[in-house]
Amino acid sequence: MTSSVSRILAGARVHLIAPKFWLAAPWLVLGASLLVSLLAAVVMDNPDLNLYGSGGLVLFYVTFCVVYAQAMAALLPFSMGLSLTRRSFYLGTTLFAAGQSVGYGVVFYLLLLIERGTGGWGLAQQFFAGGWYAPQYSWTVDNPAAQVAIFAVPMFVLAIFGMFVGALYRRFGPRALYALAIGGILGVGGALVGLILWLKDAFLGFFLDHPVVALFAGWPLILAVVFGGAGYLSIRRYVP
Count CA atoms closer than 13 A to 168's CA, side-chain side.
21
Q: Which of 36-50, 193-207, 222-236 has the lowest mean pLDDT?
A: 193-207
Cα–Cα dist 227/163, whole Å: 8
- For 22-50, what is the mean pLDDT? 79
Specify the pLDDT at position 122: 82
Tell me what the pLDDT averaged over the chain comes to.
Answer: 81
143-174: pLDDT as tens digits: 999 999 999 999 999 999 999 999 888 888 77
pTM of the model: 0.85
pLDDT in tens, 73-93: 889 888 888 888 899 999 999
Residues 115, 127: Cα–Cα separation, whole Å: 8
Please list, in sequence order, all residues whose beta carbon lies within 8 angstroms of the beta carbon of residue 185, skipping any fewer than 6 positions away: none
Q: What is the pLDDT of residue 94?
A: 96
Residue 122 burial by Cβ neighbours in a 10 Å radius (0-12, 13-18, 19+): exposed
Report pLDDT for 145: 94
Domain layout of the chain by residue ranges: 2-235
What DSSP assignment string belongs to 160-214? HHHHHHHHHHHHH-HHHHHHHHHIIIIIIHHHHHHHHHHTHHHHHHHHHHS-HHH
Evaluate whether 92 touches 11 at the Cβ level (below 8 Å): yes
- What is the Cα–Cα distance from 69 to 130, expressed in whole angstroms? 26
Checking if the pLDDT of 207 tops 70, the result is: no
DSSP calls for the chain: -HHHHHHHHHHHHHHHHS-HHHHHHHHHHHHHHHHHHHHHHHHS--GGGGGTGGGGHHHHHHHHHHHHHHHHHHHHHHHHHTT--HHHHHHHHHHHHHHHHHHHHHHHHHHHHHHHHTTIIIII--SSS--SS-GGG----S-HHHHHHHHHHHHHHHHHHHHHHHHHHHHH-HHHHHHHHHIIIIIIHHHHHHHHHHTHHHHHHHHHHS-HHHHHHTTHHHHHHHHHHHHHHHHTT---
Q: What is the per-residue pLDDT for 119?
A: 84
Q: Which residues contact 208 (CB under 8 A, 6 or more apart)?
A: none
